[in-house]
Amino acid sequence: MIWIAVAVAAVLVVLIGLWSVGWAVGKTREIPPQIVVDVHEAIDFCAEALPVEVTSVLSYDELRRLLRLHLEWIQAYHYTPDHLPSGPVVYEQFDPVDYVVERADLLRLDVSRDHIVEVVAAHDAYLQVMGALHIEEPELVARDLGEFGELGSEMTAAIEAGATAPPDDAVDDRPVGEAHDDA
């Protein structure tokens, strides 16, 4: 009789263990794939993507700081807690530029707004290549969001009409255009 009780208890423990593992695997499947952004790779990518007018003025350290400020903006303004409904994140093209310009002024980085526009565009391109950022054509976004009622009719009409917006610790002072070795 005791052997039957032990066998039932063992089967019950195994079933509870299998259910727990299945539940944990199910929760893990819900997590989106994690993307790791390599700082040196991002700097190299952006340095190659930037026009000569920008790379001849910016140092690697300034570029690194600007990229960090852009990531700071993404983290600060695109974080959605679990208890809030998530939906498409919509922002104007120059929102991150305004933020980076303001923060660069606070950090006393002497970088022009035009250069920051170029750096943010290059960094967006890097994040798209890495799969961390997905940007669609404005017409597709407007159509999709219009169907969900996320955009007002005047915003959708403006987009369809083609309206656009106005145009770590080590210091590396070499111009961005020069090759570097992080060995």
Q: What is the mean pLDDT of the chain?
A: 77
pLDDT at 38: 86
167 HSE (CA, 13 A, CB side) = 4
* Amino acid at position 103, single letter: R
Q: Phi and psi for 59 in degrees, rounded to 5?
A: -90, 165
Average pLDDT rounded to a whole number, residues 41-48: 92
Quick check: 11 pLDDT over 80?
Answer: yes
Which element (helix H / strand E) includes 160? helix 153-160
Give residue-wise pLDDT tens across range 128-165.
888 777 666 656 656 665 665 544 455 445 545 554 44
Q: Residue ranges per domain, the chain?
A: 1-31, 39-79+90-160
Give residue-wise pLDDT tens across range 104-120.
999 999 999 999 999 99
Q: Specify the pTM.
A: 0.57
Other residues' Cβ atoms within 10 Å of the Cβ of residue 129: 12
